[in-house]
Structure 1
């Protein structure tokens, strides 16, 4: 079953309270209700292990550690999507973020609605159940069956060729 927006737990990690407040406001207006925050790495790691968030927004420059190291620690415990949200903008920083296990890299200043869109995209992929077309599904109408996965028509137990 797919989770509703309000059911997803989002952990936002940033040492700037103004950024956290902005993101919380925008995410709540977009329907998210279960938002957790941390202002340092130790707190973020504790919240992650205790609350199992569905996604993490992670700053790179934290007072007690860097986000890359923290990402690596989180990755040893879970595959939760991690989006870096940082002022570090060089190509090397971005490559480093991905090499430590980040799923996306957003630089400051940022558009808060773009951050929400990226979070929704990650959540859609990470919590998605298989579509109805990828499941084994056969429609049974008594004397005939249709298998939409293979395009097969079976009448009285015999496969019938259907020319195009």
Structure 2
């Protein structure tokens, strides 16, 4: 059976617009906002870390080649985790996958806060990378699975905008953090 969509004409007689019953539910906006925030924070921390390299080198007494592992290991873990995000969303509920992503990100951040040795910073970045690697595709997955068909493009654009703003402001936030300390 084929679904019938209800459309209304715009005032100029142009392309049909979706009917009012095609609105995005509030819970979906909240879900996209929560997962988008997690993805945003993951990318933000990635881009601000490079500005903090000199501070990390002084704090932990490591070389430039060693401190670069802070971003390298994070990106490797994100890249390895993203492909399994689809499997996770098929195997578990979206809420369970989201809670897991948040848990990894928060635990990683807490480990980072209490790190007194450089290897703990790397462990923290691995945990944060798992959280970010799950969150970014999860946001797109939620949009594709739950948004009204006529709103998918708009919501994907908004989700992508949220993610792409993070690298633009990350270095500024990192620089401000260095100046505060």
**Shared fold by TM > 0.5?**
no
Q: Which has the larger radius of gyration?
A: 1
More strand by share: 1
Which range, TM-score by smaller chain?
under 0.3
Whose relative contact order is higher, 1 or 2, with alpha carbons under 8 Å and at least 6 apart? 2
- TM-score, reference length from structure 2: 0.24
- TM-score, reference length from structure 1: 0.26
More helix by share: 2
